[in-house]
Amino acid sequence: MQSLKDKAPDFNVGKISEQLQKLKEQATEQANKLGSQVADKVPALPSGTIQQDVDDYLLKSYRWHLNRETIKKEFKDVIYDPEADQRTVRQQLEQLNRDYFSQKLTSRGDFLPDQITEITEQLEGIRTEVLNTVQNAEPQQQSQDIRSRVENYLRSTGKEELNPEGIQRDFKTLLSDPEAGFEVLGDRFKQFDRDTFVQLLKERQDISSEEADQIISQLESTRDSVLSGAQELQEQAKSKAQELRQKVEAYLRDTKKEELNPEAIERELQTLLEDPQAGLSALRTRLSQFDRDTLVQLLSQRQDLSQEQVNQVIDQIEAVRDNILQAPQKIAEKAKEQYDQTTATIAEYLRNTNLEELNPEGIQREFTNGDFANLREFIALAIIVPLQ
């Protein structure tokens, strides 16, 4: 917009801004619906990622530097920051695996296959160890975070907004966590008993004891509703996970040896494991039961497969599993790319369009039929990507 002001100081830039804002508002409702549907499927997009640090470490270190002792001393610090948000760290660690490490080391071209295998196993061992540490630390950090947000909500929310409808809407949103299971939420909510709510509301001078009682009853009802919903979802997830396990076991047990080739495994397991309706947390829960040890036990029961063939099949299964878990990250990255491209196109449009065409009718026409016909998608991406 500044370029327009410089181009024509007396031009009514306000009308252009108003028209663009109007178009954005037309798409906002649709975008919010889309955002709520995919919010738990698309992980955050931090500016600096563990994957970038790993790439730098594996691709830029001298060959002689990547030895067992040095990796043992350094790699944990490459992938772990105890001060960082533990959920974000976990999400990023889950994007890494043996195959990823192996691909990076192979791309260097200066390691022998046996050396790549040895280094990869050590890296994966450290990653698994750190991931366990993060998974143990995450609940406490999340509990502290929600405690702070609840305290702020009860201290700063306007009295007129602390009505049954407002509490049901806002407090439920505050407590909800698609990635947390029933037990985790139950432990997290123990800190929010009636006495806690009483003490927090006592600090306010604008709320009487009678009003506080009514508010607290609604807070407790909303808290219990969120917990009940989580329990119901967890029971559904357990049922789905058990069903999936039975199908995978049957596939690995009954499929003919000649059909256990990479293409067939990818095709069949993609069908079995993928669920477009499941959120990232649900997928992670279902797929976590298929770790390498479990797959080894399942396939070792077959007498027609050698140990080498068993490992080859497991490698392929793990690749399919990891691709499914990484799909939401790829969606988010694509969304950000489209968002950036569209932002640049709009800037170019405003810089280069003749002033007489920058009127409400012209803008509406261009955004409906021209290069910006996908404005609604652009707005959706603009809303979804920054909020994850």
What are the sequence ranges of the domains in the chain? 2-38+353-387, 46-137
What is the per-residue pLDDT for 282? 64
Residue 233: pLDDT band with limits 50, 70, 90: confident
Average pLDDT, integer, range 293-299: 83
Residue 267: pLDDT band with limits 50, 70, 90: confident
| Geometric angle at alpha carbon 380, from 376 and 381, rounded to 5° | 120
**CA distance to 119, 371, 387, per residue, from 136 (Å):** 26, 49, 26
Judge contact between 107 and 59, C-beta under 8 A: yes
Mean pLDDT of the chain: 77
pLDDT at 121 over 90: yes
**Tens-place pLDDT, residues 123-170:** 999 999 999 999 888 888 889 999 999 999 999 999 999 999 999 999
Which class for 62: exposed (0-12), middle (13-18), buried (19 or more C-beta within 10 A)?
exposed
Q: Is the pTM of this model over 0.75?
A: no
Residue 58: pLDDT band with limits 50, 70, 90: very high
What is the per-residue pLDDT for 178? 80
What is the per-residue pLDDT for 179? 76
Torsion of CA 95, 101, 104, 107, to 10 degrees: -140
Q: What percent of the chain has pLDDT over 70?
A: 68
Query: Using CA atoms, how far apart are residues 134 and 86, in angstroms rounded to an integer?
Result: 6
What is the per-residue pLDDT for 45? 41
Name which of 342, 339, 340, 350 is nearest 16 in CA terms.
Answer: 350
Look at 75 and 384; give whichever has higher pLDDT.
75
**Tens-place pLDDT, residues 347-367:** 666 666 666 665 556 655 555
pLDDT at 112 over 90: yes
